[in-house]
Structure 1
Amino acid sequence: MSEGNVAIIGAGPGGLAAGMLLSSQGYKVTVYEKQPYLGGRTSRLQVGDYKFDRGPTFLMMPALLEELFAAAGRSMHDYLELIELDPLYRLQFGDVRFTPTTQTEEMVNRIEERFPGNGKGYLRFMRDEEKKFNAVSPLLKRPFGKAADFMARDLFAALPRLHLTDSVYGRLSKYFNDERLKFAFSFQAKYLGMSPWECPGTFTILSYLEHKFGLFHPIGGVNRICKAMGEVIEEFGGSIALSTGVSRVLTRGGKAVGVQLDSGDKFDADHVIINADFATAMNRLFAPGELKKYTPDRLAKKKYSCSTYMLYLGVNKDLQMPHHTVMFSDDYSRNVREIMTDKRLSKDASIYIHNPSAIDPTLAPKGKSALYALMPVPNLTGAVDWQEQGKLVRDTMLRRMEQEPEMRGISSHIDTEMSITPLDWQNQHDIYQGATFNLAHTLDQMMILRPHNRFEEFDNCWLVGGGTHPGSGLPTIIESARISVRLLMEQDDRSKIRVAGSVVDRKRKRAAIGVHKQKGRGAALWRK
């Protein structure tokens, strides 16, 4: 009987989700995290008395989290309190402000008020995207590790609805005639670090998911999800070693057999799960020449997302503005082209503002606000000197923010602040080329052409996170963990490996490794 030792490299949401599922099945899980905190890009940042989400702030499809916790025999609601957002966000196009909602009739009214003649296009978009979602969803829940996976019935059924040869912008042009409304449904391509003019048309599904299932805020921030998963791992006897970096995946006979820490200590493992940034992991975690497919030269030729400049402000003022605000540049297409193609800073940039203190009093002292500002910028393949430009970008962002009535004079109200540049993402957070959203989701880097959940180079080695199938973004990262865990456990079942100490019944085991249909919003479970 095996001990079922699993070493997980990286305590991001993918690694923690995999660890939670496996520890609930009796596996002996150890998560190794280089940083002194959980979550990776989805971690908490505290600056003085103010608390921020370091990276992701949009939470959609919480039913996936509910399923994940249930598969581990836990209720998500015992760990997280979610608030549904209405409106979803405020979108600003110069003097025009638009506040989308999930309420269909009201949404049509708001569209007709701001963008006359486009209400029917919205209804057609939602109907068509629902059919796409139903077709695409099964593909996000299973692996693409071999050519035979392309011969499955679900893929052939989905192909006509994937719109792989069209772009996000091109698809939206079939429903809306106002450029601003197209941008309102295409800015979500930035979640993938891509341009809506280049992002495959499949990904119009992102805006559909927001409008269909809503957006939510966990009290304490999105980082609370990672903390909750870590708690469950420890409840099942797993361990999380913070400030403990892994320097090498140990291999023998074509298999991963353990890890070596930065300290030099070595630990055996029956399975190794890699949740570190993909390209960084390939460059650092294996001995030179050990990898055949993911060599440094080949990694450098892959396509990567844009980066982000982050500004976290502790403001001694109660800001009366929405939870999410997107301020579009006057020439959005030029702004995107400069970031993605020209790889240079835009003089007229779009900026995203996160003001969670509007609904969450836990993040800042009473009467104050924890304000988060993000500007999409080129990754480090561009020629921007961030040591020189960082302060200039910060000042540019503040000047733009202070044009808004709610933020006028905000510079004089800053108690404390911190920033993260693309160079910081690379040097302090080990993100290859500072590409915050990982590998780009181009056609040649999707499904079987994306790094596989079952790592191609070594047996008993698995990938989770945004750098593997099905891709970046919290919902798909969770799916990557479920896929990899299912493959791992199925392999152990075929090998007749029984894990010592497993007390989980067969029903929950099937839930942990099985494929689930997406549930409804279940909005009654969360308060508004």
Structure 2
Amino acid sequence: MAATRPVVVVGAGLGGLSAAVHLAAAGREVIVVEARKEPGGCCGTASVGPYRFDTGPSVLTMPSVLAEIFAAAGEDMDGWLPLRRLDPCYRLVYHDGSHLDVVPDAEAMTEQVRALCGPDEAARYRRFRALLGEMFQAEWSTFIDRDMTSLRSMVRPYTLLKLAAMGGFRRLDRLVAAHLTDERLIKAHTFQSLYVGLPPGQALGVYAVIAYMDTVGGVYFPRSGGMHAIPKALAALAEKKGAVIRYGVRAVEVETDGTGVAAVRLDTGERLATRHAVVACDLPRAHARLLPPAARDWRLRRPRFSPSCLVVHAGLDRRPPGQAHHTLHFGRQWAASFAALRQGRPQPDPSLLVTCPPAGDAAPAGHATLSVLEPAPNLSGGWSPGLTARLEERLLARLAELGYGDLSGAPRLVWDPPAWAKEGHSAGTPFALDHRFTQTAWLRPSGVARRVPGLHFAGMHTAPGVGVPPVLISGRLAAHRILGTAR
């Protein structure tokens, strides 16, 4: 009987849509309920006049994870969501005026390092690049692309010993500094730790795999529609396979009976009878408002949230000449900036990620869009009145110094931690829980509610964690558990 009832997916973000596609492709009836008027969740979009901006992730790595979702539905991703590989993946600009273009080709990248840092460092870089590949191979299939709902999943003695021998359980900054000597190159391979909510001095060396995904695996971007094209394509694919997506409808309660999940109640008063639900929205808020007490997870008793960010989206009347798609401007006060975030204060000299995608359908002909991200504290320590305005003013002044011109009169949107909180993100951060050891793999909130059979979770708050590929994987893992094919 359970197989004849629809699976209800709460949330049409990337995790929920991934689950919906896999379930529908396997022949299950699926209903997705989404409070917003369109798919995307964190991978959203917003407009100011003729300018459209991606309001969520701007970096796409590991496109094979996306391709696998389309393949599971018998489709070729290129026909639905053609991507292009960015070259350079990033332009890294240092405070001394030097810069490093991170390019996808190994030989070309080695030449970039040789030109900036010298032949000896280029040789060290080549060896370090090989180490990153080994670490990625060891971690991907064992800990990232695998169901972590059982403690047994952590017991991989051979892989753990191998990672330990490679330095995976040292601190990330120390691991990288043991192989590279130029501070600029070290920064190029450690700044990614902020993606998992930790400074390089706190993140484990195993997170060097993020640098592998960025600098070796490459960074991609949809050929049209921006990053929001990803959830739009997944939603269309899910509907083609038979899933029903209901927008503008909010789930208000997951009902249970003596055997597990019984129904999902909606704000319309409807009751969707089901034996399986996938909750793919902000997990701490879901526990507070949507889920039964029996679903509580001890891992969320004292959650540690990632820092947040201030993002300024601006419309430009022309594209800056020679501008890369992604440019990272490093600040001078590297250690002090991380210390400030740990203490819940704005960074004194933040590094800025500037994204300037091809105009395409995001801006009028000859115009461009610019999105600038500055790391910021989350709301755990409060957010004083007027702080957003002060940080925005400082950010615009910094951009002018960096050569982007006076943007004070440009059409723009500003997203700050209070805005993220209004969008449904706990602690006002779009980066969920940080990835300290006690919030990683099996120790991260579980993908299943052990005391509520049929209740599954997907998204950033559960394993594998934060980022587009991990969130997509979390949805697939939830679907496979329901289908009985989890590994």
**For this structure pair, what is the TM-score category when the shorter chain's length is used for normalisation?**
over 0.9
Question: Amino acid of the residue matched to residue 365 of structure 2?
Answer: K
SS of the equivalent of 1:249 reads: strand
Give the match for residue 110 of structure 1.
Answer: 112
- C-alpha separation in 1, matches of 2:259 and 2:162: 36
Whether contact under 8 Å (2:308, 2:377) holds in the other structure is: yes
Q: Of the candidates 368, 385, 388, which is equivalent to residue 386 of structure 2?
A: 388
Q: What is aligned with 1:332?
A: 334
Residue 432 of structure 2 is aligned to residue 434 of structure 1:
no
| 1:82-161 correspondence to structure 2 within 5 Å | 82-94=83-95, 95-116=97-118, 117-139=120-142, 140-152=144-156, 155-156=159-160, 158-160=162-164
Q: 2:416 corresponds to which residue?
A: 421
2:290 matched residue in structure 1: 285
Give the distance between the partners of 2:269 and 2:486, measured in 1 at CA: 38
Which residues of 2 match residues 350-365 of structure 1 at below 5 A? 350-357=351-358, 360-365=359-364
Query: 1:348 corresponds to which letter in structure 2?
Result: D
1:261 corresponds to 2:266? yes
* 1:270 corresponding residue in structure 2: 275
1:243 is the counterpart of 2:248: yes
The one of 455, 463, 470 equivalent to 2:457 is 463
Q: What's the CA shift for 1:158? A: 4.9
User: What is the DSSP-based 3-state SS (H/G/I as helix, E as strand, rest coil) of the residue aligned with 1:374?
Assistant: strand
Is the alpha carbon distance of 1:108 and 1:304 closer, same or farther for their aligned partners in structure 2, counting shifts above 3 Å? same
Match status 1:483 vs 2:477? yes
Provide Cα deviations, 1:137-187, integer angstroms capped at 9, x if missing partner: 112222122233333566456543674531211111011112221111111
TM-score (norm 1): 0.87
- Contact 1:30-1:238 within 8 A present in 2 as well: yes
Deviation at residue 486 of structure 1 after TM alignment: 1.3
Give the equivalent residue in structure 2 for 1:304: 305
Partner of 2:400: 402
The one-letter code matched in structure 2 to 1:398 is L
Give the root-mean-square deviation of aligned CA atoms.
1.9
Work out the CA distance in 1 between the residues paired with 2:329 and 2:106. 24
Q: What is aligned with 1:177?
A: 181
Confirm whether residue 32 of structure 1 aligns to residue 33 of structure 2: yes
Report the CA distance shift for 1:457/1:163 in structure 2 as closer, same or farther (over 3 A): farther
**Contact 1:344/1:383, CA 8 A, preserved across alignment:** no
Q: Work out the CA distance in 2 between the residues paired with 1:61 and 1:73.
A: 20
Tell me the CA shift for residue 300 of structure 1: 5.8
Partners of 1:15 and 1:273 within 8 A in 2: yes
What are the Cα deviations for residues 456-513 of structure 1, in whole angstroms up to 9, with x where unaligned?
Answer: 34110111111111111111112112222111111xxxxxxxxxxxxxxxxxxxxxx5
d(CA) in 1 for partners of 2:194, 2:6: 38
CA contact (8 A) 2:260 2:275 kept: no
In structure 1, the gaps of 5 or more residues are: 491-512, 516-528
Alpha-carbon contact 1:91-1:97 (below 8 Å) kept: yes
Sequence identity, in percent?
A: 27
Cα pair 1:143 1:452 within 8 Å, conserved: no
- Residues 164 and 443, structure 1, Cα contact 8 Å, conserved in 2: no
User: CA separation of 1:162/1:50 partners in 2, compared to 1, >3 Å: closer, same or farther?
Assistant: farther
User: Residue 33 of structure 1: CA displacement?
Assistant: 1.1
- For 2:448 and 2:166, how far apart are their aligned partners in 1? 24
Distance 2:84 2:256 in 1: 45
**Cα distance per residue 1:23-52 (max 9 Å; x no partner):** 111111111111222111112222221111
Structure 1 SS opposite 2:39: coil
Match of 1:447 in 2: 441
The equivalent residue for 1:525 is none
Give runs of aligned pairs for residues 205-220 of structure 1, distance below 5 A. Answer: 205-218=209-222, 219-220=224-225
Q: Hey, what does 1:193 align to over in structure 2? A: 197
Q: Cα distance, 1:411 vs. partner?
A: 2.9
2:45 corresponds to 1:48: no
Q: Classify the secondary structure of the residue corresponding to 2:386.
A: helix
Partner of 2:221, secondary structure, is: strand
Taking the aligned partners of 1:249 and 1:161, their CA distance within structure 2 comes to 45
Among 468, 471, 477, the alignment partner of 1:474 is 468
C-alpha distance 267-434 of structure 1, shift in aligned 2 (>3 A): same
The 8 Å contact of residues 295 and 452 in structure 2, kept in 1 or not, is answered as no
Cα drift, residue 435 of structure 1: 2.3
> 1:38 is paired with a residue of what secondary structure?
coil
Question: Structure 1 CA distance, aligned partners of 2:4 and 2:102?
Answer: 51
In 1: Cα distance, 2:50 partner to 2:168 partner: 47
**1:102-151 CA distance string (max 9 Å, x none):** 22222222212222331122111111121111111112222122233333
Q: Give the C-alpha shift of residue 237 in structure 1.
A: 1.9
Q: Which amino acid aligns with 1:465?
A: G
| C-alpha contact (below 8 Å) 2:148/2:446 kept by paired residues | yes
Q: Report the alpha carbon displacement of residue 226 of structure 1 after superposing the two structures with TM.
A: 0.5
Judged with a 3 Å threshold, the aligned counterparts in structure 2 of structure 1 residues 390 and 272 are, in CA distance, closer, same or farther, namely same
Q: Which residue of 1 aligns with 2:229?
A: 224
**CA shift at 1:266, angstroms?**
1.8
Distance across 2 between alignment mates of 1:161 and 1:52? 44
User: How many Å separate the matches in 1 of 2:269 and 2:162?
Assistant: 48
Cα 1:247–1:404 change in 2 (3 A) is: same
Matches within 5 A, 1:303-322: 303-320=304-321, 321-322=323-324
Residue number in structure 1 paired with 2:370: 371
Unaligned 5+ residue runs, structure 2?
none
CA distance in 1 between counterparts of 2:150 and 2:259 reads: 18
Q: 1:292 to 1:24 in 2, by over 3 A?
A: closer
Take 1:374 and 1:315, find their aligned partners in 2: how far apart are those partners?
17
Deviates more, 1:417-426 or 1:140-149: 140-149
1:234 matched to 2:229? The reply is no
Give the SS at the match of 1:7: strand
Q: How much has 1:188 moved relative to structure 2?
A: 1.0
1:344 alignment partner, SS class: coil
Equivalent residue number for residue 508 of structure 1:
none
Alpha-carbon distance between aligned partners in 1 of 2:50 and 2:198, rounded to the nearest angstrom: 34
Q: Distance in 1 between matches of 2:301 and 2:317?
A: 44
